[in-house]
Amino acid sequence: MNMIIRKYRRIVILILLVLFGLVSTLSISAWSNTSRAAFKNYNSEQTQQARYATNKIPNSSSRALQLAREGQQFYNAGKYDEAAKLWEEAAAAYKQIGDREGITKSLINQSQALQDLGLYPKACKTLLQAFAINNPSCSQKQIDSFLANLSQQQNSISLTQAVGLRSLGEVLRRQGLLNQSKKVLQLSLSVLKELPESSAVLLSLGNTERALGKQIRDRWDYEVITEIIDRKSQEAALAPYQQAINNYIQAATVTSASPISKVQARLNHFKLLLELQKWWEEQTNRRIDSWSKFGESQLVERAKDFLSQLKMKLTQDAQALQTQISSSIASLPPNHAAIYAQINFAQGLMLSKQTDKAEPVLNTALQQALSLQDKQAQTYAFGYLGRLYHQQRRLSQAIELTRQALVLAPEQNVTKDVREISYLWQSQLGTLLREQGDTKGAIAAYTAAFNTLQSLRSDLNANNRDVQFDFLQEVKPVYTELADLLLKSELSPSELNTLVVSNASIRQEKAEANKPKSRLEFARRVLESLQLAELDNFFQDPCSQETDIAVQIDDIDPEAAVIYPIILKERLEVILSLPGKSLQEVAIPISDQEVNDVLDRLYDNLDNITVNTSARNILSTSNPDAQELKENGQRILPIFGQLYNWLIKPFETELSAHEIKNLVFVLNGQLQRVPMAALYDGQQYLIEKYSIALVPSLQLVNSKPLKQKQLKVLAAGISEQIKVQEEIFPALTNVPRELNEIKEAFPSSLKLLNKEFTAKTIQNQMKFNFPIVHLATHGLFSSNPEKNFIITGDGKSISINELSALLTKAEKNLELLVLSACETATGDERAVLGLAGVAVRSGARSTLATLWPVGDASTAQVMGKFYQDLKKPGEKKSDALRVAQLSLIESLRAKPPFEELKALPPHPYYWASYVLVGNWQ
């Protein structure tokens, strides 16, 4: 009897869910990570029961019910803004009659419509209102508190709330709160696991697990990926995504689930396999190229075998899914969910180069979108048809379709955020016009995309972090393509003035003065914006803000020049900014592949631990082979010479004529891991001519010079061997000497050695306003924030975010943060962003650190000399570092570590690792 009662109650609840239109829809701007339709497609008998129930509802609630039903009708017609307004009114009407359940359902529905409108923060707040949260802000702290309370009441979560949790999980993923999204969806699944709607929850959970997997994979160090390839471990290669794959499989096999949920699960699974295959192919081929150059035939064969086996598995699984999708997608009724599923499927087919199969799928989707008058679906159908025709080289048709997609997007812009749609088609149009030879049209299109992305910049981090590494594939090319076109063009000032450059932080009265005066100035502005966007993207947080007016080197240092190298497809462009002079450029006719090959060779010889003859491996042994190191130096010097010829030689005359003393580099891509100090002209290293600094952007440089008066250092370090979480870190025996020399240079300094060095003591001492913090300890920077850490003397590790929080306790901004003995992750070209970001986030004006491990004896010598020079009146930080590096170079010249090296310049591995990032004054 109890079972019958429970079954009857469940049917009644399902009827009510249908009645109030609880739905779960596709987030349009991330096809591969989305899903549609929970509690929507029920059989006609249930619908009749719902209608019968409607007639019995008292008159006092009829208005609320009518508003809810109208909202559902507008939603079904793709009019999400109208639906959101009606459901908001329905919630208010239910509130008047005290119907908590009606309020909850209406707010859940309203939130879903807001998601479709791209208004994720508002959707999140609306969902928290549905759960009766006062003053909803959707901050991480509030979500964590909400989750803690909800977990304690897990057994009392209703079906309606479970639906709301599923929707909340989707929004949280979109806002980058992935772990919270996972917890919320697991709670939803615990309630709905025996119901057909569990398929939709499993799909959402798979999407969140996929975003988490992508985060893990894209933060792997070079050596981690190399080890997987060398072990030929398919299991390890797929490990970050295995849970997502499992969820997709489960979602597709829920017997009673709606057909659309099953199709969507298979679609997301299908596209994931295709993307994995492409990613591993790129990574493996990169290592095959590297090993081939060094004659590592066994490693090459293992890599080829690994790739062959992995591709076979992924291809077989993808083909099986494609067959299942093809047979089921054709039978879906022509509704909005089916249209989006078809476009999603076409994307997968295009990704796997099956354009002949993708075209009829997209045409069907377009016809259905036109029939249903769904403008948003039409935008995507036109846009992806344009992309398909581009692949087929039908440029004129592709341009026309892309323009149609763009025309449709603004039509929806009254109450929704269409920027994520617009920039896709703006950049696509730019690519097409460029290939057609319409350079001015392409620049205009890319400028529009650039403006859209500038306005979206904070949202790409704060509200959509699951796409953070898609930044490299989809967002970064907008900046580089626009810069490329500008540098090749001959636009007149009047033509430049027609291009509106957006910057939300520029006040109206300053906008006119801030217009780019030349194509080079515009290109430089684009490169600066790219650096800022990439830094924000790296930290998944808009931690850097652009200044009101574009910063020039004249505003900062009359003795400095800024060099902007950018690797483009057909050439290497270098822009030079000199005080009081117009920007200059040089274009080296060399492909990006050739430039990156040179940079890979440098890395392989210098710091690649998977290459036996790299300097790092040679010098890491207890008894280094002198002949190997000599041969390594003979290979490295010509590479540094090539880089000098590209970046410096074209400007030698100008640099000399203007008596430039400081070179400031704004670097991107693989150039970020190059020690610029070691560029070699055949006679001298670059550091022997100039002081050198790196900046992520001039707009982030605090231009005030260093105040030598009352300088004091908070100097902390570890000299003993220390064990942290089962990992042993070796003793740094020269650290006491390093700290003593700092105390000697600045007597007011404070030393914290070994057990005195804790997070608590750092926090307490920062209240006393130390302008310089020097940490001589083990630490690491990488693309993985979870691996960014330093070791404290009490055997603990603190993250860089925690360190930044400690340092912000200073009453005044830090002048300098020195991370001695720390290193950046092997082969991680984005890790240098971590160094820049630490300064930005902690309030430090600059950071001094090392690109690779340096012996602590050499470090003690360099740091001692650095601080002795820094206390001189008017001395710049970059000058003090230069003097310290030159001191080490001269020591190595006078007394080389091996007799065999006497005829060669001192090997860069000993001295070039030190980099100053940020303000150099």
Q: How confident is the model at residue 1 (pLDDT cuts 50, 70, 90)?
A: very low
| pLDDT at 788 exceeding the cut of 90 | no
Secondary-structure percent of the chain, ordered helix, strand, coil, rounded to 5:
65, 10, 30
The pLDDT score that the predictor gives to residue 223 is: 82
- Stretch 118-136: mean pLDDT: 88
CA–CA gap between residue 832 and residue 820 (Å, rounded) = 15
CA–CA gap between residue 427 and residue 475 (Å, rounded) = 9
The pLDDT score that the predictor gives to residue 918 is: 86
CA–CA gap between residue 458 and residue 474 (Å, rounded) = 16
Q: List pLDDT tens digits, range 215-257.
A: 888 778 788 899 999 999 999 999 999 999 999 999 999 988 8
| pLDDT at 36 exceeding the cut of 60 | no
Q: What is the mean pLDDT of the chain?
A: 83
The CATH class of the 713-875 domain is alpha beta
Out of 256-270, 724-738, 803-817, least confident range: 803-817
| pLDDT at 408 exceeding the cut of 90 | no
- Residue 884's Cα: distance from chain center in Å? 35
Which residue has tokens 């515009």? Answer: 522
List the chain domain ranges: 1-218, 419-539, 553-700, 713-875
The CATH class of the 553-700 domain is alpha beta
Q: Which range is most confident: 222-236, 452-466, 513-527?
A: 222-236
| pLDDT at 145 exceeding the cut of 50 | yes
Out of 246-260, 443-457, 879-893, 895-909, least confident range: 443-457
Out of 327-331, 604-608, 871-875, least confident range: 871-875
pTM of the model: 0.78
The greatest distance separating any two alpha carbons of the chain, rounded to the nearest whole angstrom, comes to: 99
The pLDDT score that the predictor gives to residue 430 is: 96
| pLDDT at 46 exceeding the cut of 60 | no
- Residue pair 212/178 in contact by the 8 Å Cβ criterion: yes
Query: β-strand 779-781 against 750-753: which pairing, if any?
Result: unpaired
Q: How confident is the model at residue 806 (pLDDT cuts 50, 70, 90)?
A: confident
User: Which of 813, 61, 29 has the alpha carbon at shortest distance from 421?
Assistant: 29
Bin 664: left if φ > 0, else alpha if -120 < ψ < 50, else beta.
beta
Neighbours of 67 (CB within 10 A): 21
- Residue with more model confidence, 830 or 913: 913
The pLDDT score that the predictor gives to residue 798 is: 85
Which residue has tokens 């529009």? Answer: 448
Q: How confident is the model at residue 504 (pLDDT cuts 50, 70, 90)?
A: very low
- Stretch 543-562: mean pLDDT: 66
Joined together, the tokens standing for residue 269 give 């699974």
Out of 19-33, 310-324, 332-346, 650-664, least confident range: 19-33
Which residue has tokens 């410096």? Answer: 648
The pLDDT score that the predictor gives to residue 503 is: 47
Q: How confident is the model at residue 17 (pLDDT cuts 50, 70, 90)?
A: very low
Which residue has tokens 């803004």? Answer: 81
The pLDDT score that the predictor gives to residue 552 is: 66
Joined together, the tokens standing for residue 822 give 């720390």
- Stretch 339-359: mean pLDDT: 94
- Stretch 374-403: mean pLDDT: 94
- Residue pair 117/376 in contact by the 8 Å Cβ criterion: no
Cα–Cα distances in angstroms (integers) from residue 670 to residues 579, 602, 603, 673, 913, in the given order: 28, 10, 9, 6, 16
| pLDDT at 909 exceeding the cut of 60 | yes
CA–CA gap between residue 794 and residue 757 (Å, rounded) = 7
Would you call 141 exposed, middle or buried from its count of C-beta atoms within 10 A (0-12, 13-18, 19+)? Answer: exposed
The pLDDT score that the predictor gives to residue 815 is: 86
| pLDDT at 405 exceeding the cut of 90 | yes
| pLDDT at 832 exceeding the cut of 80 | no
| pLDDT at 40 exceeding the cut of 90 | no
CA–CA gap between residue 429 and residue 466 (Å, rounded) = 25
In degrees and rounded to multiples of 5, residue 401 shows phi and psi of -65, -40
| pLDDT at 846 exceeding the cut of 80 | yes
| pLDDT at 672 exceeding the cut of 50 | yes
User: Which of 551, 558, 561 has the alpha carbon at shortest distance from 514?
Assistant: 551
Q: How confident is the model at residue 10 (pLDDT cuts 50, 70, 90)?
A: very low
Q: How confident is the model at residue 506 (pLDDT cuts 50, 70, 90)?
A: very low
Q: How confident is the model at residue 55 (pLDDT cuts 50, 70, 90)?
A: very low
Q: How confident is the model at residue 812 (pLDDT cuts 50, 70, 90)?
A: low
Q: List pLDDT tens digits, range 148-197.
A: 888 888 888 889 999 999 999 999 988 778 899 999 999 999 999 889 99
The pLDDT score that the predictor gives to residue 692 is: 96
CATH code matching the domain that covers 1-218, chosen among 3.40.50.150, 1.20.1250.20, 1.25.40.10, 3.20.20.70: 1.25.40.10
Q: List pLDDT tens digits, range 58-117.
A: 555 788 899 999 999 888 877 888 899 999 999 999 999 989 999 999 999 999 888 887
- Residue pair 812/769 in contact by the 8 Å Cβ criterion: yes
User: Which of 517, 481, 484 has the alpha carbon at shortest distance from 499?
Assistant: 517
The pLDDT score that the predictor gives to residue 54 is: 39
The pLDDT score that the predictor gives to residue 194 is: 82
- Stretch 453-482: mean pLDDT: 62
